[in-house]
Structure formats: structure tokens, C-alpha cells
Amino acid sequence: MAIDWKTDVDAALAEAKASGRPVLLDFSAAPM
């Protein structure tokens, strides 16, 4: 299953707050 990773942290935090959803924040050094 493909994961729809978001990349804009502040936009994601705002969306999470508005929707009441938790956030999974992945700090990665791997090439993407």
C-alpha cells in the first residue's frame, strides 16, 4: 500500500488540528 507522504510540516500540523488526526513525523536521510 502506497503511503501519501506529506512534506509541508506546518500545513500538515494545521490539517491535523482541524481534523483531529494524529501526525506521524518521519525524519529521513534516505534518498526519496
Partner 1 sequence: MPVRIKVREHPELMERFGANWTPTILVLDPDGVERHRIEGFLPADDFAAQLVLGLGHMAFARGDYAEAERRFDEELRDYPATDSAPEAQYWKGVARYKRTGNAAELTATYRAFQERYGNTPWAKKASVWAPTAA
1 binds partner 1 (CB under 8 A): no
The verdict on 32 binding partner 1 (CB under 8 A) reads yes
> Does the footprint of partner 1 cover residue 29 (CB under 8 A)?
yes
Residue 2 as a binder of partner 1 (CB under 8 A): the answer is: no
Q: Does residue number 4 form part of the binding site for partner 1 (CB under 8 A)?
A: yes
Please state, in angstroms and rounded to a whole number, the distance separating the CA atoms of residues 29 and 16.
24
C-alpha cell at 10: 506546518
Kindly provide the b/e burial profile for residues 15-27, where b requires at least 16 CB atoms within 10 angstroms of the residue's own CB.
eeeeeeeeeeeee
Shortest separation between residue 10's beta carbon and partner 1, angstroms: 9
